[in-house]
Amino acid sequence: MNVWDDHPVLRLLGGGLVLVVSLFLAALLAWQLARDLAIWVLGRDVEAEVVDLWVEQVGAQDEGELDFQYYMTYRFATPGGETITETTTLSVAEWAGGYEEGGRVGVVYFPPYPKHNRLDHSRFVPALACSYVPAILVAVALVVAGWQLFRPAIQEPGGEWEVEDEKERESAKRI
């Protein structure tokens, strides 16, 4: 015997908690994957103008945690004439890549909603796509584990679902 068998309320609560959390995480994963797929599959390439570049200090120098965050603002126009201005963070490698104000940068945007855009990182798409595989596997495993804990707590010991009340059960026995 284990704790789950001895205390069905704990099984119900534990399984329900794992199930709810795993479904929430699966929904977040699906949302992010949908956003990425919109860019990967339906995205349009465009050249944007670098409007501004700046660095902000993050952390305190006196605490020994001096770090910097790098930013870029770019602007592009859609074929429909809409002008989009976006600010993004850059990695140190991107910052050192030679961007300059007034220069050009590749951007990918989602045509039905151009405000959904990002710098063109198409060379990383296979790696990004593969990074979803373990996350999907973990989400599925958590949903299955939560259901396996939760399901027996809502079933009768004989395997019948508890949907009848006592009067219905007694009348069924007489027939």
What are the sequence ranges of the domains in the chain? 1-42+121-156, 44-110
Taking alpha carbons only, the member of 34, 48, 132, 137 closest to residue 85 is 48
Beta bridge mates, 161: 155
Tokens of 74: 């770019």
Instruction: Give the residue, 158 or 80, on which the prediction is more confident.
Output: 80
This prediction's pTM: 0.61
Beta bridge mates, 104: 49
Fold designation for 44-110: OB fold (Dihydrolipoamide Acetyltransferase, E2P) (2.40.50)
Mean of the per-residue pLDDT values of the chain: 80
* Band (161; pLDDT cuts 50, 70, 90): very low
What is the distance between the alpha carbons of residues 13 and 104, in angstroms, rounded to a whole number? Answer: 55
DSSP element (H, E) containing 87: strand 83-90
Q: Where are the alpha helices (DSSP H) in 100-165?
A: 125-153
- pLDDT at residue 107 in the model: 92
Question: What Rg value do the Cα atoms of the chain yield, rounded?
Answer: 27
What is the distance between the alpha carbons of residues 156 and 55, in angstroms, rounded to a whole number? Answer: 63
Average pLDDT over residues 42-71: 86
